[in-house]
Chain A
């Protein structure tokens, strides 16, 4: 039972941390758009591929 005197305050501190992180997330707008990012992650990769292509072309034109 003695360990409870240590573990429960730890859990309280953890809850405090969780609440602090949650409040930060709400205030910094993490919950503002719950739909868009879910889709944009699918496009991101292609974007990078496209960027790379562009870069490659740039590099090509520079080397030529």
Chain B
């Protein structure tokens, strides 16, 4: 109920929840109330929803909708032509859509109702978990573009997508996991039930005939567990052996395989012990751990709503007869002429033919400021066209294009794994080889000595040393930590990164999009003199155009009515500007700067906001409140990291002034600016070869290679798909403070892993001589193995109860 109260607030937009500008009058009448709106876009969308008879959406929703960007965007007809239809029937056709902007389950209801109203739509179902929809339409009655248009009208974005992509592979993998776990669970339960009965009855109370029967039944039930559920382990072990690089899968597969085969033989000859229940439990536990690991990875990929942004799917090609045709971006050829409308992504590296526009290349270069492009200038594929329509010829396609180059850098960096990964791999193979060697020599020695129990002894040795607890030690700790983090909006895509995180020496931040979010804006203007607001603004803009201080960018974003030419502009570095506009001298800058220039003392209004003052020679004319774009919690996180003894650096492709300014704001001393992606890569390389373990925190496509190269990489919310794909840790919420929670938990994880490892080693090494001497029966070995594994699992589970301390986070 709190939600419905919260969602009926008159100071925020009824549709999207953004603050409503005081001076504006957008809004609609709904249920007898005037509902304010923040922009004409939201107004149009809300009107469309109510007009379609779907007004009860506003009662059902539990979260605000996404802001409808602008009126033009809502009303502009959707031009996407579909070249590929996923599935063809005789009369029906099926299309898959990705839908952006779904915030709560009522959105699903709204979308389904809206689309099903259309003529020719047979069915339309939206998957809430994956934000995908399947649309079935009758051929020749309705065009898919019309459906997309209807979806746009109620404020969502829909894009058709290729079902053959990565996503459907993941979906398949998930079903595979579920099937294998289900089989192991149901069959394992049954085996366990039989075994439990036998345990309780004791060894000699069951008739030999019945015992034999029960063992055969257990064998039958274990068969699908080994051959179906355990298949991934057997396959991985086979691959490892073929590559002569035995990993942890080899003893797992050996334990499963030998345990099962030995049980079968013992059942057949009617003597000795069977280990069916151990085999089933072993497979089930390991599968579960891998499934949870997979789930976090799957969520990370499928939740990325910006998936389509880095590489555009379609391009508008100008055909020979001058008509525009929509083609897939992949099919563009060298020399093709393309048209790029404002707001669109540039489909390939190209050279401008006609038009003049501003282009945002921040995603590729880290350069925050839009760049002016006119005919003859080069455009980077993947960057964003902002203001006007451009026509350009494609200058580079395929593997030489900028995006491909970056992708190639990632591959390269991923190939050069940090040394510790290799060391861990080598350690695992060494351990595994030793286990096998010890088992084999025990068997040979026992056989040679004429021991009748040689097989049973050898099997005990294998089961005892089978590094179940050891191989569970790390994954269970990761899994528990991952699910604890997941609840806090933090996704771990690679478990090992948590362990490494505890030992890092240096944390490197990217600037644009990571420490800063979007751009600075002038949020409020207070006038002290008699001059008009627009005139004051124009003067400020004309002065600031000489500065590349980040605050100046806030002014450059404002529109000037009259373009004054400021003269004799002098900069007092980092403090302010002084110049002559229309014959008068003006000062623009910080409080200290104005105080100094005019010889007065200003009343400080609020220390928490950045203020800039404009003054002439006599008096202060206006104060501007600058809305800070530094990510929430960035300062506190940096301070906390330093407290923990980590070195903190800022590595940016941006210019020196804004980078230094930001570094001062958040408290970072070690600063590198003007760095290209390969510079950044070299820098990481240099630090790593100096023996440092490096964490990279970034967001953009240009950060992706470095993210892949760093020992641990963290991408923040709003990061590009490419950056997410090469990150180990994804922070999904906006607050940088979650970084602290990750670090805290990571040190806990490595403590838990050490405990687990210690326990497993003590158990394995302690039990080994006993088993080799023949004092341990296989059933005792199996019991010991299960108990030691259980200890490890329960110990790991403690991580789930680690909560972010409230006062820690709010401090």
Using CB atoms and an 8 Å cutoff, list the residues of chain A in contact with chain B.
1, 4-5, 8-9, 11-12, 15, 18-19, 22-23, 26-27, 31-36, 39-40, 43, 46-47
Question: Could you say which residues of chain A place their CB within 8 Å of the CB of B126?
Answer: 36
Cβ contacts under 8 Å, A36 to chain B: 105, 108, 126-129
Q: Are B60 and A43 in contact (CB under 8 A)?
A: yes
B775 within 8 A of A: no
A-B contacts, 23 listed (Cβ < 8 Å): A4-B210, A5-B210, A5-B213, A8-B194, A12-B190, A15-B186, A15-B187, A19-B182, A19-B186, A19-B224, A22-B186, A23-B179, A26-B175, A33-B128, A33-B129, A35-B128, A36-B108, A36-B129, A39-B106, A39-B108, A39-B128, A43-B60, A46-B56
A8 to B187, CA, bound (A): 13
- Contacts A26-B182, A32-B171, A43-B109 supplied; 11 other A-B pairs, CB < 8 Å: A1-B207, A4-B210, A4-B213, A8-B194, A15-B187, A15-B221, A19-B186, A36-B126, A39-B108, A39-B128, A40-B109
Q: Which residues of B contact A47 (CB under 8 A)?
A: 113
- Say yes or no: is B217 at the interface (Cβ < 8 Å to chain A): yes
- The interface size of chain B toward A, counting residues with CB under 8 Å, comes to 30
Please state if A12 and B127 are interface contacts (CB–CB under 8 Å).
no
The A interface is mostly helix, strand or loop, or mixed, namely helix
Residue B341 at the chain A interface, CB threshold 8 Å: no
**Does B105 lie within 8 Å of A15, measured CB to CB?**
no
Report the bound CA distance from A31 to B210 in whole Å.
40
B159 close to A (CB within 8 Å): no
Q: Are A12 and B220 in contact (CB under 8 A)?
A: yes
Interchain CA distance A47-B224 in the complex, whole Å: 45
- Smallest CB gap from B206: residue in A: A1
Interfacial chain A residues near B182, Cβ < 8 Å: 19, 22-23, 26
A31 and B178 contact, CB distance less than 8 A = yes
The answer to whether A8 and B217 touch across the interface, beta carbons within 8 angstroms, is yes
What is the minimal beta-carbon distance from A46 to any residue of chain B, in angstroms? Answer: 7
Given A33-B129, A40-B105: A12 touches B217 (CB 8 Å cut-off): yes
Q: Nearest CB to that of B104 among chain A residues? A: A39
The distance in angstroms between the C-alpha atoms of A22 and B187, with both chains bound, is: 12
Q: What residues of chain B lie closer than 8 Å to A4, measured between beta carbons?
A: 210, 213
Q: In the complex, which residues of chain B have a beta carbon less than 8 angstroms from the beta carbon of A39?
A: 105-106, 108, 128
Q: What string of 1s and 0s marks CB contacts (under 8 Å) between B196-232 and chain A?
A: 0000000000010010011001001100100000000
Within the assembled complex, what's the spacing in Å between the Cα atoms of A56 and B197? 63
B11 at the interface (CB under 8 A from A): no
Please name all residues of chain B whose beta carbon is closer than 8 Å to the beta carbon of A26 when the two chains form the complex. 175, 178-179, 182
Q: Are B109 and A11 in contact (CB under 8 A)?
A: no
Taking the nearest CB of chain B, how far is it from the CB of A31, in angstroms?
6
B230 to chain A, nearest CB (A): 15
In the complex, the chain A residue whose C-beta lies closest to that of B176 is A26
Complex Cα–Cα for A47 and B116 (A)? 12
Does B183 interact with chain A (Cβ within 8 Å)? Answer: yes
CB distance from B452 to the nearest CB of A (A): 32
B194 proximity list for chain A (CB < 8 A): 8
Q: Residues of B contacting A15 with CB < 8 Å?
A: 186-187, 190, 221
Nearest CB on A from B603, distance (A): 53
* B217→A34 contact, CB < 8 A: no
Interface status of B688 (Cβ within 8 A of chain A) = no
A27 and B171 alpha carbons, distance in the complex (Å): 11
Judging by beta carbons under 8 Å apart, are B190 and A32 in contact?
Answer: no
Tell whether, in the assembled complex, residue B129 and residue A34 are in contact, meaning their CB atoms are under 8 Å apart. Answer: yes
Question: Is A35 a contact partner of B129 (Cβ separation < 8 A)?
Answer: yes
Q: A22-B186, A23-B182, A36-B129 are in contact. Are A8 and B175 (CB under 8 A)?
A: no
Give bound CA distance, A4 to B194, whole Å: 11
Instruction: Report chain B residues within 8 Å CB of A1.
Output: 207, 210
Chain B, 87-127, CB within 8 A of any chain A CB: 105-106, 108-109, 113, 126-127
How far apart are the CA atoms of A22 and B538 in the complex, in Å?
69
CA distance A27 to B178 in the complex (A): 10
Any A CB within 8 A of the CB of B130: yes
Nearest 3 A/B pairs, CB to CB: A36-B128, A39-B105, A22-B182
A23 contact set on B, CB distance < 8 A: 179, 182-183
State A27–B183 Cα separation when bound (angstroms).
Answer: 14
Query: Chain A's nearest CB lies how many Å from the CB of B263?
Result: 17
Query: What chain A residues lie within 8 Å of B210 (beta carbons)?
Result: 1, 4-5
A39 to B126, CA, bound (A): 12
Contact with B105, one of A5, A18, A35 (Cβ below 8 angstroms): A35
CA distance A9 to B214 in the complex (A): 10
Name B175's closest neighbour in chain A (CB-CB).
A26
B217: chain A residues at CB < 8 Å are 8-9, 12
CB contacts (< 8 Å) of B221 on chain A: these are 12, 15
Q: How far is the CA of A33 from the CA of B113 in the complex (A)?
A: 19
A50 to B798, CA, bound (A): 50
Q: State the CA gap A40–B113 with chains docked (Å).
A: 12
CA distance A35 to B220 in the complex (A): 37
Asked if A32 and B186 sit within 8 Å, CB to CB, the answer is no
CB neighbours of B113 from chain A (8 A): 47
Interface set, chain B 122-149, CB cutoff 8 A to A: 126-130
| Cβ of B178 to closest chain A Cβ, rounded Å | 5
CA gap between A40 and B129 in the complex, in Å: 13
User: Once the chains bind, are A27 and B56 in contact (CB under 8 Å)?
Assistant: no
Instruction: Specify which chain B residues have a CB less than 8 angstroms from the CB of A18 in the assembled complex.
Output: 186
Q: Could you give, for residues 173-189 of chain B, a 1 whenever the CB lies within 8 Å of some chain A CB and a 0 otherwise?
A: 00100110011001100
- Chain A nearest CB: distance from B279 CB in Å? 16
CA A34 to CA B178, docked complex, whole Å: 13
Residues on the B chain within 8 Å of A43, using CB: 60, 106, 109
Q: What residue in chain A is nearest B112 (Cβ atoms)?
A: A40
**A-contact 0/1 string along B26-49, CB 8 Å cutoff:** 000000000000000000000000
Q: How close is A48's CB to chain B, nearest CB, in angstroms?
A: 13
Set of chain A residues within 8 Å of B187, measured between Cβ atoms: 15, 19
CB-defined contacts of B224 to chain A, threshold 8 Å: 19
Q: What is the bound-complex CA distance between A35 and B302, given in angstroms?
A: 15
Q: With the chains together, A36 CA to B102 CA distance in Å?
A: 12
List chain B residues, Cβ under 8 A from A9: 217
Residue of B nearest to A5 (CB): B213
CB interface residues, B 50-87, toward A, < 8 Å: 56, 60
Of A4, A9, A26, chain B has the most CB atoms within 10 Å of the CB of A26
A53 smallest CB distance to B (angstroms):
10
